[in-house]
């Protein structure tokens, strides 16, 4: 799950925590005030990003305080500003009642949950604006901004589509007979259970979604296709097809695997990867993606998401609720927003730190599988270094910054591959299903049993 997706879903959690007051309690909303603050809170983080990335460096360089690029660790600066986007959205919801404004002005739209989801548009605009500002640091003038905006919008839609399907399902359920609604009200866990097939479906049908959203073409290079097919036969992994992802002026060099089931699984190679990398380098990069398949990383990510659904009720019952019970009752009644902060923090900590820790370990594991399968460690190292240069990724990243990233730094990945070359014992722990993944598989049924006992 990408950083933009995590911030956006966290915004949805904030939105779900907002309760529309009863009709008789609704006070008249100052439309001009709400729209003005929505405008300011949406563009405020974008302006801050511009000041941080453009104005401050120019001033510091003019005064000869700095001479080098202070944004070598770009990710942490962007992450902080994107958290500001979330904070501004939080204020917009609970201080200036944006969801109530949407509710009152779009009553003609009959689907309540989908109607309320429109309140996330300011957050989406703010996040994309910040990405555009930070993109200026790469100074790639050949990129068309329409394509860049479309690219980020589509990446936001990937996790958003399953969520919208879930919200549509909830909107349809309220039209069921009263006795059915009463039953669902008494067994609210069933509504949470609906997330399971939606979540699993998102991972299963991700290749079709990617091909629908982005232009893809078959791999026509006969020599390269034959080489990659022999590689997959050697790895004993199955997939349906290899597709070329057309990135246009963005010139993104990357590869990805999508789909949990072999009959629907696809390997995606970007057009820039095929154009600017040698066949041997592409072979090692694809072998890395095969490593994700070999070690079942995608199903593990599904389990990780399911574990969140099971662990949150326990967090709420045994940590969040007792903590807020210690707060003054008047504070909770006058500021109901306080009760949603714990859920938001838990979500961000779970997916930013927990998910990304596992993701970095999986990347090391896939790297070692790639060099083991192809027996071309030097070629793979050259591919990693070329990817870094081509995609403007810093080679070295400070350890404290790396915890915010889904991938280890290129320097650290190269070090692990060098350990493989030297037959260092350090790499042996990556040769099997990782301990973290085994613990995850073990925790899932345990948490499920605990939740069933406590809440049924």
Q: What is the end-to-end Cα distance of the chain in Å, rounded?
A: 31
Q: What percent of the chain has pLDDT over 70?
A: 88
Q: What is the mean pLDDT of residues 192-201?
A: 77
126 neighbors 43 (Cβ within 8 angstroms): yes
pLDDT digits (tens, 9 = 90+) for 18-27: 877 665 456 6
Q: What is the mean pLDDT of residues 172-198?
A: 74
Residue-level length of the chain = 456
Position 87 pLDDT exceeds 80: yes
Least reliable range by pLDDT among 1-15, 60-74, 95-109: 60-74
The residue ranges of every structural domain in the chain are: 3-209, 292-456
420 C-beta neighbours (distance < 10 Å), count: 20
Percent helix, strand, coil in the chain, to 5, is 75, 5, 25
pLDDT digits (tens, 9 = 90+) for 417-428: 999 888 887 787
pLDDT digits (tens, 9 = 90+) for 249-300: 888 899 998 888 888 888 999 999 999 999 999 999 999 999 999 998 888 8
How far is CA 440 from each of CA 21, 96, 311, 363, rounded to the nearest angstrom?
Answer: 40, 41, 12, 17
Q: What is the mean pLDDT of residues 114-133?
A: 91
Token code pair at residue 414: 């190269």
382 C-beta neighbours (distance < 10 Å), count: 17
Q: How much is the pTM?
A: 0.86
């Amino acid at each position: 799950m990408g950083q933009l997706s995590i911030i956006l879903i966290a915004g949805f959690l904030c939105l779900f925590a907002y309760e529309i007051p009863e009709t008789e309690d609704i006070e008249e909303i100052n439309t001009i005030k709400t729209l003005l603050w929505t405008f300011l809170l949406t563009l405020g983080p974008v302006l801050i990003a511009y000041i941080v990335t453009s104005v401050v460096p120019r001033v510091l360089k003019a005064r000869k305080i700095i001479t080098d690029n202070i944004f070598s660790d770009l990710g942490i600066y962007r992450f902080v500003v994107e958290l500001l986007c979330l904070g501004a959205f939080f204020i917009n919801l609970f201080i200036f009642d944006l969801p109530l404004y949407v509710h009152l002005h779009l009553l003609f739209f009959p689907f309540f949950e989908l109607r309320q989801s429109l309140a996330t548009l300011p957050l989406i605009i703010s996040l994309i604006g910040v990405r555009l500002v930070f993109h200026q640091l790469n100074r790639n003038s050949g990129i068309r901004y329409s394509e860049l905006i479309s690219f980020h919008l589509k990446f936001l839609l990937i996790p958003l589509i399953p969520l919208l399907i879930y919200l549509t399902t909830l909107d349809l359920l309220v039209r069921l007979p009263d006795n059915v609604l009463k039953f669902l009200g008494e067994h609210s866990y069933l509504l949470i259970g609906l997330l399971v097939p939606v979540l699993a479906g998102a991972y299963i049908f991700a290749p079709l979604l990617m091909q629908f959203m982005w232009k893809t073409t078959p791999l026509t290079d006969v020599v390269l296709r034959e080489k990659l097919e022999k590689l997959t036969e050697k790895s004993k992994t199955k997939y349906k097809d290899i597709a070329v992802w057309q990135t246009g002026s963005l010139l993104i060099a990357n590869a990805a695997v999508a789909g949990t089931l072999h009959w629907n699984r696809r390997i995606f190679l970007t057009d820039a990867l095929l154009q600017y990398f040698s066949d041997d380098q592409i072979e090692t990069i694809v072998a890395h993606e095969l490593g994700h398949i070999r070690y079942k990383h995608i199903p593990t990510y599904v389990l990780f998401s399911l574990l969140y659904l099971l662990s949150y009720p326990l967090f709420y019952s045994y940590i969040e609720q007792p903590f807020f019970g210690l707060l003054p009752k008047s504070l909770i009644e006058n500021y109901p927003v306080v009760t949603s902060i714990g859920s938001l923090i838990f979500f961000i900590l779970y997916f930013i730190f927990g998910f990304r820790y596992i993701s970095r370990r999986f990347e090391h594991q896939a790297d070692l599988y790639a060099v083991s399968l192809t027996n071309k460690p030097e070629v793979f190292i050259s591919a990693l270094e070329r990817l870094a240069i081509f995609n403007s990724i810093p080679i070295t990243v400070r350890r404290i910054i790396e915890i915010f990233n889904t991938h280890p730094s290129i320097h650290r990945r190269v070090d692990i591959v060098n350990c493989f070359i030297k037959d260092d014992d350090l790499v042996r722990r990556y040769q099997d299903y990782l301990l973290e993944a085994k613990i995850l598989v073990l925790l899932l049924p345990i948490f499920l049993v605990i939740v069933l006992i406590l809440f049924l």
